[in-house]
Chain A
Amino acid sequence: MDDLSVKTGKRVVVLGAGSAGTMMVNKLRSRLPEEWQVVAVDRDDAHMYQPGFLFIPVGMYKPARVVRSRKKYLLPGIDYVESPIEKVVAAENKVYLENGLVIEYDYLLVATGTQIRPDLTEGMGSGALWFKKVFEFYTYEGAVALRQALQDFEGGKVVVHVTDMPIKCPVAPLELAFLLDDYFRKRRIRHKVDITFATPLDGAFTKPVASHELGSLLDDRAIRLRPDFAIERIDNDAQELVAYDGVRIPFDLCITTPLNTGQDYVFASDIGDESGFVPVDKHTLQSTELPNVFAVGDATNLPTSKAGAVAHFSSEKLIENMLGLMLEGKEPAERFDGHANCFVESGRGQALLLDFNYDTQPLTGTYPFRRIGPMKLLGRSRFNHMGKLAFEKMYWGLLMRNKTIPLPADMQLAGKKWED
């Protein structure tokens, strides 16, 4: 490996080699000329297939299935550095790593995603019940611990809880609630389990049509919905969630979604906002402050879902913007429309598909082709569920291998039904 402490030629540094980072760094390597040095940085060599975290607790995936080597998915010619990041000093164009290495860059791409901060809610991360009766499933450790806890669970009140938006994959807690219904039915103890879904939103989801569809689905699955629940703290002695307005929800098992922020190093750097996200232009993904800094994926402050699909669709625009600027000095012109889609696992072997962008809320209809589908938007179908499972193969086989999935990056209005 080259000595990275000295910069000789042109260099682009990608922080984070997860979904967004791997996709982008491979795109950059394959399209940049030889003289450009492409560097990827991450803290370990464990690339998680994060959509799989949902299936670990309920026993649909074995834990080992979601972890692969980061290095294996990076193209040859990429310099990979394995170290936690200490800070970025954009004023000096330098990244300081915890292993002592200082990497200077010409262009920087931030793709370090989010982290959960259970310690920011009183009685959550620091509480006596953490990982005993209060769990999360946004990390590998959390998902595995929850899997065990669910296996040992014999009945009582289960609360699936969202602390506050934004969170990574906003529908995941809802999906888990649906899957729990299935899980306890399979174990034949569903009637002993009282499942509640508590959210700070005023409904099941952020967007109205989808919120309605998903809300009635909750009713159908006998899951209680507690909207407008703004948590203040967890009362570990009483085993209750306590809201700011004094409302309490008792639990025997709480599956929470802690606050999401950017990574710690972003707070120590001069590239992020107060939540640790990198403020970017929502269409070009260029940093609003620094012309040679871009961000992609969950690490951005984009006003759309923090989801792999967003990272994927936006990366197609971002790569053109970055290459244009790096090679020809062109102002970023490709515009990302906020296109996101996600499969919402609704249990019972079915899933819904949501497709939306900055301006259009999720609508009913078919995807990706009008009438033909084959996938139904906002409707439950077996095919959607198969799509969700098949996505794992596409993820490792196509997305992370620098091959394209033949789906348009911009949202298409064809096939969508407009209702007033």
Chain B
Amino acid sequence: MATIPEGFIIPDFGTTPPAVGDGTASAACASAGAGASSEFSGPRKISFICSKGNLDMAYPGLIMANAALGEGVQVNIFFTFWGLDIIHKKLNKKLRFTFAGNTAMHMPELGYVRPGLENVSFPQAMANLPGMTRFGTSYMKKAMAELGIPPVDEMVDLLEAAGANMYACKLTVDMMRLIEADLKGIKGVISATDFIELSEGGQIVFI
């Protein structure tokens, strides 16, 4: 590798050990990005546990996992309970979002109707009207698409291609009588114990 010239500012590319030059160079690196000065000890590792199958709860794990992969972090994802719907071929195109029970639901569009309405929590009594879940789902899908976020099934493909290690929870697969061939992108169906072993030395994020 070529040596980095003096005074050169280079972005933090993570797995690259900080350049060992003279004092000024490493100082520059240290100021450039957090962590660049810390001792290099192999790639970082994060494990996500996705346990929810609602559309709104499927995205956080996938997006964070994707961001982590882009940062060169090694990613494990463990899908358990309702989270298995995220990797289920026949269900992950049909994940839904409901207003019910979600008091943090506001609709920015309403602010254009009357200022202030955008900050009003969606009335729970209306959340269970017929068709509301369908409306909420398409509303959210549209909002995500506008931001350039792909649908859940494509996100899963993307993660698989980017090298995320994805696993399904054995207990849940047995309990819900899922057919393994319907689960996509996974490296295996493993038990919780296996997952704890796999995730050793990394952070665990439960969603």
Contacts and interface: CB of A to CB of B under 8 A. Distances in A.
Contacts of A194: 179-181
A191 B179 contact: yes
A69 B158 CA distance: 60
B114 interface: no
A223 interface: yes
B89 interface: yes
B178 interface: yes
A190 interface: yes
A194 B173 CA distance: 13
A191 B178 contact: yes
A34 interface: no
A253 to B, nearest CB: 16
B12 to A, nearest CB: 41
B182 interface: yes
Interface string B85-117: 000011000000000000000000000000000
A117 interface: no
Interface in A196-219: 196, 219
A224 B180 CA distance: 10
Contact of A224 (B90, B174, B178, B181): B181
Nearest to A194: B180
B177 A195 contact: no
A222 interface: yes
Interface in A57-109: none
* Residue of A191, A219, A220, A224 with highest tally of chain B CB at under 10 A: A191
Contacts of B182: 222
A382 to B, nearest CB: 22
Interface string B162-197: 000000000001100111111000000000000000
Nearest to A191: B177
Contacts of B174: 191
Interface string B31-71: 00000000000000000000000000000000000000000
A219 B89 contact: yes
A199 B42 CA distance: 42
B177 A223 contact: no
B168 to A, nearest CB: 13
Nearest to B178: A191
A223 B181 contact: yes
Interface in A165-216: 190-191, 194-196
A274 to B, nearest CB: 39
Contact of A195 (B89, B90, B173, B181): B181
A190 B178 CA distance: 9
A205 to B, nearest CB: 19
Contacts of B89: 219
Contacts of A191: 173-174, 177-179
Contacts of B177: 190-191
A222 B90 CA distance: 9
A5 B178 CA distance: 66
A223 B90 CA distance: 13
Nearest to B180: A194
Contacts of A219: 89
A223 B181 CA distance: 6
B47 to A, nearest CB: 26
Contacts of B90: 220
Nearest to A157: B180
Interface in A218-234: 219-220, 222-224
Contacts of A195: 181
Contacts of A220: 90
Contacts of B173: 191
Interface in B123-156: none
Nearest to A224: B181
A190 B89 CA distance: 17
A395 B177 CA distance: 41
Nearest to B89: A219
The 8 closest A-B pairs by CB, nearest first: A191-B177, A222-B179, A222-B181, A222-B182, A224-B181, A191-B179, A194-B180, A194-B181
Given A191-B174, A194-B181, A222-B182, 16 more contacts: A190-B177, A190-B179, A191-B173, A191-B177, A191-B178, A191-B179, A194-B179, A194-B180, A195-B181, A196-B181, A219-B89, A220-B90, A222-B179, A222-B181, A223-B181, A224-B181
19 contacts: A190-B177, A190-B179, A191-B173, A191-B174, A191-B177, A191-B178, A191-B179, A194-B179, A194-B180, A194-B181, A195-B181, A196-B181, A219-B89, A220-B90, A222-B179, A222-B181, A222-B182, A223-B181, A224-B181
Interface of B: 89-90, 173-174, 177-182
